[in-house]
């Protein structure tokens, strides 16, 4: 069949280019050419879904969400390593090996990547199952999430009938920084380090989330091969690399003394590696010698992990500056005399907030002890008060935003200060991107990158400027063009009719998201009525508490907010409510949605429930009235059944809303 031949050819090409890019770091075609091949494959598979296979390159985007991970018993235990923290302990390991192995023996030295250990199973060259280490004997089946890792081969040539490989899933430093920048933009909590980010991503029940995290894998051990043709560890690594696995870089040495030079080199150059590492692994190479040495109850006798001590150095505080993040949070940063730390020159470190400054009792002129948290982010550990100059005075955070001069407010948890201005230059990108987002004004084509281009070109300074854009000026932006510019300006024009709920959500008022905005729009006929509402009037509305009400009235009272609204009004943005309340048949009732609905999207079902006066919650409790369950409903359904809550099918729900 011609279609099958083209499919096979496309899949082979894409896997080859995937391997050249991710394993050998030697791409032979451009990203655009790769994307075009992938696009053609997607088109064919969409027309012939019966021909889609689990190992197809298109399946790396993630399949349907799981309700839980099943348990997997490892055929070969995934043992941990004994840690050594000094050269004396390392030499002692070498002496033990010399006494226990009378024959000559070689060592392999490899970087110890800080990620999540995995067992990868292949049958006749096809990836069939992947599992976490767990307790070494039993792990969790994360096969669908592993399929999204682009550096993992889903099919290998010239493979034994059965093969088990051990690898480490990790998040590269570059992806980690990119992900944290995006989380900061969205006002989310920053991830602590790449290892936690990788582990959290791999344990997501929705593979699409794992796919979005751009994880990688590096393989460091052949656990089992049905052909049994290998005698040494280095030989297995070379064979795995030839099969298309990304393999840990290794060096072989005759004795422990020679290993030390490599260990020290890795420690000095670890900042240059794309992944985070917390040590070096030293292993006996001979597989027969390994088998003779065996293992203790916890770890193999033939290997150890040399752990690098966290590097700490003192430096003098030159200044404390306050930066305004994209979410409006004021973050103090200490400027220090440059010092070399864990492979890079450090001249600044975050102080997080005023509470942390007070805890440290840090002052300009102090001498501080620095360390890199997770080997990446510089932080202040302590202050050497014995070296404090007489003139040093405590540092106090400002009461107004250093970027725009607007008042700042302390978060309700008392930890962070936040700028209150919707037009603060430091928050510009985040505010405009949120204004245009799907849950807000839903301006198609106006994503982060386009917002950034508009701001950098000086075309947009606030969300209101979107409605005054010149199409010709937009067309002049890089990678835009006249057609794209026309589509974008048309989408912006259409958003004028989005209605009050979307507009209020777009303002980005603290604690007023999509749900609260809909509640407000159902109680007020237009924006002017909402602006005139007092705190008492707002708190009289269900789901609007006193803190949220205070945030709303305070936001509308700001001169910057009034200026934004004035310009939106002049541009013709509709301020009226579009929320249609049909009747109150669901008044006082709370619904929870779970599983995959066939007749509605989650948003559609939620909108219907709210239009009849009901509420939609994300969790099941004793206050839940109904659970609307679709296909593959998980733990929420189980909990509802245990609480005796009525479970609705889609047909029953349809009867209720007729």
Q: Which residues of the chain have pLDDT under 70?
A: 1, 19, 21-27, 30-32, 35, 59-68, 184-189, 326, 342-343, 373-376, 412-414, 422, 580-582
pLDDT at res. 65: 46
CA–CA separation, 68 vs 71, rounded Å?
Answer: 10
For the domain spanning 312-387, the CATH number is 2.40.50.140
Q: Are 602 and 593 in contact (CB under 8 A)?
A: yes
**Which CATH fold topology does 590-656 show?**
Rossmann fold (3.40.50)
pLDDT at res. 375: 53
pLDDT at res. 581: 61
Question: Where, residue-wise, is CATH 1.10.287.610 in the chain?
Answer: 2-52
Q: Are 515 and 548 in contact (CB under 8 A)?
A: no
Task: Return the residue matching tokens 């302990």.
Answer: 89
Chain segment 563-608, per-residue pLDDT in tens: 999 999 999 999 998 776 667 788 888 999 888 777 777 777 887 8
Question: Where, residue-wise, is CATH 3.40.50.10190 in the chain?
Answer: 590-656
pLDDT at res. 60: 61
Give the contacts of 11 (CB within 8 A, at least 6 positions apart): 41, 56, 57
For the domain spanning 73-307, the CATH number is 3.30.470.30
Question: Where, residue-wise, is CATH 2.40.50.140 in the chain?
Answer: 312-387
3-state SS, residue 155: strand
Question: Where, residue-wise, is CATH 1.10.150.20 in the chain?
Answer: 421-579
Q: Does domain 421-579 have CATH number 3.40.50.2300?
A: no
pLDDT at res. 429: 84
For residue 557, give the H/E element and its range.
helix 546-557
pLDDT at res. 481: 85
Chain segment 331-345, per-residue pLDDT in tens: 899 999 998 876 678
pLDDT at res. 431: 86
Could you say which of 3.10.105.10, 3.10.129.10, 3.40.50.300, 1.10.287.610 is the CATH number of the domain covering 2-52? Answer: 1.10.287.610
pTM (2 decimals)? Answer: 0.59
CA–CA separation, 383 vs 377, rounded Å?
Answer: 18
Active site residues: 112
């Amino acid at each position: 069949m011609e279609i099958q031949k083209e499919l096979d050819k496309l899949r082979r090409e894409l896997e080859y280019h995937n391997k050249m890019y991710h394993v050998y770091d030697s791409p032979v075609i451009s990203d655009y050419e790769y994307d075009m091949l992938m696009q053609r494959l997607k088109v064919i598979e969409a027309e012939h879904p019966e021909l889609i296979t689990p190992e197809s390159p298109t399946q790396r985007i993630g399949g349907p969400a799981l309700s839980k991970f099943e348990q997997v018993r490892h055929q070969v235990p995934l043992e941990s390593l004994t840690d050594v923290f000094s050269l004396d302990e390392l030499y002692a390991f070498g002496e033990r090996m010399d006494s226990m192995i009378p024959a000559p023996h070689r060592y392999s030295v490899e970087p110890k990547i800080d990620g999540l250990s995995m067992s990868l199973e292949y049958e006749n060259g096809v990836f069939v199952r992947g599992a976490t280490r767990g307790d070494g004997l039993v792990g969790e089946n994360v096969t669908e999430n592993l399929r999204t890792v682009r550096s993992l081969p889903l099919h290998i040539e010239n493979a034994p009938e059965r093969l088990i490989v051990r690898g480490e899933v990790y998040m590269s430093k570059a992806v980690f920084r990119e992900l944290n920048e995006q989380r900061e933009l969205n006002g989310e909590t920053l991830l602590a380090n790449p290892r936690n980010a990788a582990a959290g991503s791999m344990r997501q029940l929705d593979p699409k989330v794992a796919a979005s995290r751009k994880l990688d894998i590096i393989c460091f051990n052949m656990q089992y091969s049905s052909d049994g043709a290998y005698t040494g560890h280095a030989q297995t690594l070379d064979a795995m690399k030839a099969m298309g696995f990304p393999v840990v870089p290794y060096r072989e040495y005759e004795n422990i003394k020679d290993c030390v030079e490599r260990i020290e080199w890795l420690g000095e150059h670890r900042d240059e590696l794309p992944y985070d590492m917390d040590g070096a692994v030293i292993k006996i190479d001979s597989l027969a010698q390994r088998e003779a040495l065996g293992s203790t109850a916890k770890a193999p006798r033939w290997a150890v992990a040399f752990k690098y001590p966290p590097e700490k150095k003192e430096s003098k505080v030159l200044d404390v500056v306050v930066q305004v993040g994209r979410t409006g949070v004021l973050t103090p940063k200490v400027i220090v005399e440059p010092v070399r730390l864990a492979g890079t020159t450090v001249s600044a470190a975050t102080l997080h907030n005023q509470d942390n400054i007070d805890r440290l009792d840090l002052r300009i002129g102090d001498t501080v002890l620095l360390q890199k948290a997770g080997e990446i982010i510089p932080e202040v550990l302590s202050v050497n008060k014995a070296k404090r100059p007489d003139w040093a005075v405590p540092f106090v955070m400002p009461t107004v935003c250093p970027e725009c001069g607007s008042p700042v407010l302390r978060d309700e948890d008392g930890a962070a200060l936040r700028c209150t201005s919707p037009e603060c230059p430091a928050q510009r990108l985040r505010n405009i991107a949120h204004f245009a987002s799907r849950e807000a004004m839903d301006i198609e084509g106006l994503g982060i990158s386009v917002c950034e281009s508009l701001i950098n070109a000086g075309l947009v300074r606030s969300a209101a400027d979107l409605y005054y854009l010149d199409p010709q000026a937009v067309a002049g932006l890089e990678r835009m063009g006249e057609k794209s510019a026309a589509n974008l300006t048309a989408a912006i024009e259409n958003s004028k009719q989005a209605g009050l709920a979307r507009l209020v959500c777009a303002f980005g008022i603290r604690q007023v998201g999509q749900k609260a905005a809909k509640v407000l729009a159902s109680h007020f006929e237009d924006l002017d009525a909402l602006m005139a509402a007092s705190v008492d009037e707002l708190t009289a509305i269900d789901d609007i508490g006193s803190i949220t009400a205070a945030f709303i009235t305070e936001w509308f009272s700001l001169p910057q907010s009034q200026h934004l609204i004035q310009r939106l009004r002049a541009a013709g943005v509709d301020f009226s409510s579009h929320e249609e309340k049909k009747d109150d048949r669901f008044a006082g009732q709370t619904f929870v949605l779970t599983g995959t609905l066939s007749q509605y999207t989650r948003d559609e079902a939620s909108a219907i429930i709210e239009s009849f006066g009901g509420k939609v919650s994300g969790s099941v409790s004793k206050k839940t009235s109904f659970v609307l369950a679709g296909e593959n409903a998980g733990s929420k359904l189980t909990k509802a059944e245990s609480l005796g809550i009525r479970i609705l099918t889609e047909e029953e729900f349809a009867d209720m809303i007729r």
